[in-house]
Amino acid sequence: MLHCGAHNVTREQVIETKTPSPTDTWFPIAHNTLISRVEEALTTLNMRVVEQAHALTKEGNRYFGLLRVANCQKTAEDYAYVLGLRNAHDKAFTASLAVGASVFVCDNLSFSGEITIARKHTRFIEQDLPKLTGNAVGMLSNKWSVMNDRIAQYKQVMLADSTAHDFIIRAVDINACTLQQVPSILTEWRTPRHPEFGAEKSAWRLFNAFTEAAKESSLTLLPQRTIRLHGLMDNQVGFAAASMSDKIAEGTIETDAVVVNQ
């Protein structure tokens, strides 16, 4: 979180961040209001936040947070469910949730989809926010269930070195990683620093080579890059999500001002 000018802050500091005054057409959401509404929606669905971290950049105008969530329908032994939150007071982007995972052994983060809570911060956003966040959070269980199936398939599919090398080039082409990260990705693929990934040359090992290298870049860029990475890896291993909303090829589905991007 300390990359690219962002700095780690406490929840109290997020609360103290000033929200700009609204205009005739734009009504910004306070960063802490977004967090609180998401927490309330999680509680309603018997999910709870067990760990959280927050970061601010652009003089507090842009917020990015990470919530580690427990009590989902299924739990995994080697990774945790993570929810990324982002919000902006400078009109850079709308409030959204990024659905992802954190691998226990290395704290690698990846996101498989993003849910935009509202396309615009309009006049009645504060009034509508509980419903909008409730709808967004309501999608999480299904999306995390799909993610479980996805990772299970990554672990089963083995890759030859030539296939991995070709995959890395294709990942650069779609901006799932940078050209500068390629040497780090190759090193992690050939000789993983974590022995848990060293037993078999699986797609899961290659995926974590990417997410290990991604620690060198900005966390704010991580959601879109790892969403692209998941799409490319899904195609490589022949994984097809059970729901249309979970297929990258289907684009965007809108429901009650909630937009799902996979």
In a domain, 135, yes or no: yes
Do 215 and 118 share a structural domain? no
Query: 11-16 contacts: CB < 8 A, separation 24 or more?
Result: 11/35, 11/52, 11/54, 13/54, 13/56, 14/54, 14/56, 14/63, 14/65
In a domain, 245, yes or no: no
Do 114 and 49 share a structural domain? yes
In a domain, 44, yes or no: yes
The one-letter amino acid at 254: E
In a domain, 29, yes or no: yes
In a domain, 246, yes or no: no
Give the integer Cα–Cα distance in Å for 146 and 140. Answer: 10
Do 215 and 92 share a structural domain? no
Domain count, the chain: 2
Do 213 and 122 share a structural domain? no
pLDDT 10s per residue in the chain (262 long)?
444 456 789 999 999 999 999 888 888 889 999 999 999 999 998 888 999 999 998 899 999 999 999 876 566 788 999 999 999 999 888 888 989 999 998 889 999 888 888 666 667 777 888 888 888 888 888 888 899 999 999 999 999 999 999 999 999 999 999 999 999 999 999 999 999 998 899 999 999 999 999 987 777 788 899 999 999 999 999 998 644 344 433 333 333 333 344 4
Do 88 and 174 share a structural domain? no
Do 129 and 198 share a structural domain? no
Q: Which domain holds residue 156?
A: 152-240
Do 208 and 114 share a structural domain? no
Structure tokens at 60: 């507090």
Q: What is the pLDDT of residue 6?
A: 61
Do 182 and 58 share a structural domain? no
Do 129 and 13 share a structural domain? yes
Q: What is the pLDDT of residue 69?
A: 92
Do 109 and 164 share a structural domain? no
Do 128 and 232 share a structural domain? no
In the numeric block, the tokens 């018997």 are attached to 46
Give the integer Cα–Cα distance in Å for 50 and 69. Answer: 6
Q: What is the pLDDT of residue 75?
A: 67
Q: What is the pLDDT of residue 241?
A: 64
